[in-house]
Amino acid sequence: MSITNRLNDLGVTLPDAPAPAANYVPFVVTGSTVYVSGQISSGPDGFITGKLGQDMDVDAGAAAAKTCAISLLAQVKAACNGDIERLVRVIKLTAFVNSTADFTDQPKVVNGASDFLVEALGDAGRHARSAVSAASLPLGVAVEIEGIFEIK
């Protein structure tokens, strides 16, 4: 099944790739590898903000992480000139979770992104990953995730 069909089955339409907010590019393609800059949690109503362990629970954090994964795929689609079917696999995610000093469930939060990518891409969505705490993130967002992808 195509990636587009899988996304449609999940009720997900990839948005336009978000533009960078500063002096950097949203992705770099070198050979068959795409490096995607950090994508911050956002939804139809704007940024998803909050601090895990303070005013946001794991389920809300996982939902925020899923929005980062959707934005990552949107950037990969843009890197592939609009053809998401060129995506071969997710190689690695590095995730930052805005959390209190005593919050230790960062991996559970980032599962929101990882689980979505496996749902959307099957085995091609399985990846290496880091999930770390951050004392704060840009604009107060809950999660930021960067990714490395293989394309054809």
Q: What is the mean pLDDT of residues 54-77?
A: 98
- pLDDT recorded at residue 119: 97
- The pLDDT tens digits of the residues spanning 110-148 come to 999 999 999 999 999 999 999 999 999 999 999 999 999
Q: Is residue 126 packed enough to be buried (19+ CB in 10 Å), middle (13-18) or exposed (0-12)? A: middle
- pLDDT recorded at residue 20: 86
Percent of the chain with pLDDT over 70: 100
